[in-house]
Amino acid sequence: MPSWKPLPEKVSPGKSSPRKIKIALASVLLLLQGPVFAADAADASDQKLSEIIVTGTTPLPGLGLPLRDFAGTVQTVKGADITRQHAGNITEYLEQNVGNLTINSAQGNPYQPDVNYRGFTASPLLGTPQGLSVFQDGVRINEPFGDVVNWDLLPQSAIASLQIMPGSNPVFGLNTLGGALAITTKSGRTNPGGQVEVSAGSFGRKTLELEQGGVVGNIDYFVTANDSIDHGWGDHNPSRVKQFFGKVGYQDAATTVSLSLTAADNDLQGTQTIPRSFLDNRRQAYTFPDENINRAQLWNLSASHFFNDQLQLSTNAYYRNYHNANISSNVNGDYDAVNNPTEANNTRSEIDQASYGFGAQLSYLGKIGTMDNRVVVGMSGDFANSRFKQMAQDAQFVNGRDTMGIDDFVSGTDAKTHNSNLAVFLSDTLSLNDQWAITGSGRYNYARVNLSDQTGLQPLLNGKNTFTRFNPGVGITYNPIATLTAYATYNEGMRTPTAIELACADATSPCSLPNDFIADPPLKPVIARTGEFGVRGKLNAVTSWSASIFRTQLDDDIQFISSTGATASTGYFQNVGKTRRQGLELAGHTVVGDVGITMSYSYIDATYQTGFVEQSAPNSSADASGNITVNRGNKIPGIPQNTFKVRFDYAPTSNWNIGTNVVYRSSIYARGDENNQDVNGKIPGYTMVNLDSTYNITKHLQLFGRIDNLFNKQYANFGVLGQNFFNGAGHTFDGGNITNEQFIGPGAPRGAWIGVRYSWS
């Protein structure tokens, strides 16, 4: 579970001196490890009020805030926590440990899930409405083309910490509707020494991982790499993941500089969802092949300088190159035995993207009278050139549901896009006295999306779309005693329409995901307004807790409106008015005897607040034209109302640790059932139990193991309504017998892995 321990170092403000600069620098290094879970504000109960436990509140490192003055509850995951649980990838760890976070297996590959936090999504699937911003060492890694997040591109072993910042915090910029995730990577100073790890087990998964870090004078270095092969638990679902991260840095009493490289070369296959009539064999694919090849390199140069104890400048500059090649197999949704006898089609697409940018941030700790005042002023620029190509070929089904092309690929889309995002932001926290503090923040965003047709056949596609807005935020904290903090906050955020959405927004000319670009009506930006109230505290040395209620309302929310049914994935993007996510979060940590217990519960009510009409012919409540009416108050599909997570840690001996994760999530509606009226009902909820264990054979040699889905629960975490064309013998193609069904994303069966790690200093 996210760490609840306090930061071990404290910084007392005072006059400038080399020693105090070093102390402040050490504080920043701790900040690079990520802020603590905010429920630990009370850990300073036995300290003087003038001392500071810093927590980060901006993408780039700064002087931070006293934790007791921060209006929010930040969850933090440390790299050591991730290592100890041996999860297969970072999204699996997040699902099992972070409160109010769930995943949807929409693409059928463990490295490509949709990550949902507070009902907002960070997904690798083009066209999915995105609502979370993700940063790596201050660099926004939402892809400029589509705002998607490719979770497979960062090696898990490079993560020093990961913080989850709730709400529409304007300081984190575009796409921060429901929250932001900030990843901080390791360095040779924070992670000296080395290790090699090998593991193997179920589904043919084999992994080799290397890590080495060190310090030579003022220079430090860190490098990690891994190679993983996974045959997949389902048919036609293998993965090959190769990741690398390296960093070299310089540090003296006042200055730090680092240059890092993140690289990945991954081949991921996923067979998406299957209709419920296929559950006689949960491993089978609906159609195949479906393959994603992701290659990326990110260079990031960052620097920080203390002019004195009160003033720090942080900067970064980056360049990122990304290439994606995708092939998808699809049923021909317009099949007709006489007039359109082609059974299937294959779609091939490529994305080539070069992005670059910079950030600069000045942090100042001063006084207004006798009151501490912390000011952060910053600016950022993010730019990207992308080219999207797509082509298609007619195909027939062979050997069941394997698509074989019957003619050449024909080019359909060739477009260039250019993204320009510029912003300035300000955050000011004033500590009114020992009990009260108030924070005001704001960010002005200028975003431009240019589209340019390269075929010469779609001149109306050419266009420039500009969006500007100032997003404010305010927060207040009250500390009646050192072991209790209450806070209230209000903030606003913005998401601009992506090139995919802007080029597919016409109800009369639907397109497929991510298919033909066309000339379309303009879309409005999505505006988020979040209000939150919470309390957090500590009962004793080992027991801490937090509770909060929140509401986020989106104006002009953008949704993908289906036009012919889910299997064809055709439709268009539309501003659907207002949507709302509101809920309750509870969390706590304690130790009972030799057992550490960390728990979280979340309730979320995610609803449409404006009615609209959409095409969803597979929905049993659709009218003769295939339309359904979505009313105010209908639940948004894919978001469970209730989630509960508990982590138990037990150490029978000093060399042996046993951990257990229990995760419960309630039922969800399927996509296509936005009116909540389909006869298929909801996708049922489920409870999952996972085990992990580590045994230290010697000081340097460690044996570890993990079991996922201990009780071999059959479950699904995603659903969509669609048309099943495979009702022939043995689930073969039968275009004359099409049924409307609920398609689901089945979860993996029980799996077990064992590994060994050897480390050295």
How confident is residue 412, by pLDDT bands cut at 50, 70 and 90? confident
Mean pLDDT confidence for 145-156:
91
Contact 220, 208 (CB under 8 A): no
| Signed CA dihedral, 166, 167, 170, 175: sign only | positive
pLDDT surpassing 70 at residue 10: no
Q: Is residue 12 part of a domain?
A: no
Mean pLDDT confidence for 89-102:
95
* C-alpha–C-alpha distance, residues 355 and 93, integer Å: 29
Q: Is residue 612 part of a domain?
A: yes
Whole-number percent of the chain with pLDDT over 70 = 89
Q: Is residue 355 part of a domain?
A: yes
The number of folded domains in the chain is 1
How confident is residue 55, by pLDDT bands cut at 50, 70 and 90? low
* Confidence (pLDDT) at 22: 38
* Confidence (pLDDT) at 456: 80
Of 3-12, 113-122, 346-355, least confident by mean pLDDT is 3-12
Q: Is residue 530 part of a domain?
A: yes
Mean pLDDT confidence for 664-676:
96
* C-alpha–C-alpha distance, residues 74 and 678, integer Å: 38
Of 244-253, 297-306, 398-407, 702-711, least confident by mean pLDDT is 398-407
Q: Is residue 6 part of a domain?
A: no
Mean pLDDT confidence for 543-570:
79
Eight-class DSSP state of 276: G
Q: Strands of 274-275's sheet, edge to edge? A: 274-275, 739-746, 716-724
How confident is residue 322, by pLDDT bands cut at 50, 70 and 90? very high
Q: How buried is 294 (Cβ within 10 angstroms: 0-12 exposed, 13-18 middle, 19+ buried)?
A: buried
* Confidence (pLDDT) at 510: 62
CB environment 572-608: b (16+ within 10 A), e (fewer):
bbbbbbebbbbbebebbbbeeeeebbbbbbbbbbbbb
Of 45-59, 358-372, 426-440, 651-665, least confident by mean pLDDT is 45-59
**Domain that includes residue 70, residue range:** 18-760
Mean pLDDT confidence for 420-443:
95
Nearest partner of 75 among 176, 166, 172, 164, judged by Cα: 164
* Confidence (pLDDT) at 4: 36
- Enumerate the β-bridge partners of residue 691: 660, 707
Contact 445, 173 (CB under 8 A): yes
Q: Which of 473 and 174 is assigned the larger pLDDT?
A: 473
* C-alpha–C-alpha distance, residues 487 and 435, integer Å: 11
113: cis peptide before it, omega within 30°? no
Contact 126, 107 (CB under 8 A): no
The pLDDT tens digits for 96-149 are 999 999 999 887 888 999 999 999 999 998 878 899 999 999 999 999 988 999
pLDDT surpassing 70 at residue 66: yes
How confident is residue 248, by pLDDT bands cut at 50, 70 and 90? very high
| Signed CA dihedral, 91, 95, 100, 102: sign only | positive
The pLDDT tens digits for 270-303 are 877 899 999 999 999 999 999 999 999 999 999 9
The pLDDT tens digits for 15-33 are 333 334 333 333 333 333 3
Three-state SS at 735: coil
* Confidence (pLDDT) at 39: 35
pLDDT surpassing 50 at residue 664: yes
* C-alpha–C-alpha distance, residues 169 and 715, integer Å: 35
Q: Which of 421 and 30 is assigned the larger pLDDT?
A: 421
* C-alpha–C-alpha distance, residues 145 and 32, integer Å: 29
* Confidence (pLDDT) at 563: 60
* Confidence (pLDDT) at 505: 66
CATH for 607: 2.40.170.20
* C-alpha–C-alpha distance, residues 109 and 129, integer Å: 20
Contact 584, 549 (CB under 8 A): yes
The pLDDT tens digits for 168-177 are 999 999 889 9
* C-alpha–C-alpha distance, residues 757 and 705, integer Å: 11
* C-alpha–C-alpha distance, residues 494 and 469, integer Å: 8
Q: How many CB atoms lie within 10 A of CB 8?
A: 7
Q: How many CB atoms lie within 10 A of CB 334?
A: 11
* C-alpha–C-alpha distance, residues 211 and 431, integer Å: 43
* Confidence (pLDDT) at 699: 94
* Confidence (pLDDT) at 565: 44
Give whole-number Cα distances, 550 to 57, 581, 582, 686, in Å. Answer: 19, 8, 5, 25
The pLDDT tens digits for 134-146 are 999 999 999 998 8
Reading the block at residue 503, the tokens are: 């080029």
Contact 96, 87 (CB under 8 A): yes
Q: Is residue 4 part of a domain?
A: no
* Confidence (pLDDT) at 214: 97
Q: Is residue 13 part of a domain?
A: no
Mean pLDDT confidence for 80-107:
93
* Confidence (pLDDT) at 511: 63
Of 211-225, 452-466, 540-554, 622-636, least confident by mean pLDDT is 452-466
pLDDT surpassing 50 at residue 707: yes
Sequence-ordered list of residues with C-beta below 8 angstroms from that of 73, at least 6 positions apart, any chain = 37, 38, 39, 166, 534, 536, 546, 548, 585, 587
Of 30-39, 393-402, 658-667, 735-744, least confident by mean pLDDT is 30-39
Q: Is residue 10 part of a domain?
A: no
Mean pLDDT confidence for 437-448:
96
Q: How many CB atoms lie within 10 A of CB 91?
A: 22
Q: How many CB atoms lie within 10 A of CB 445?
A: 22
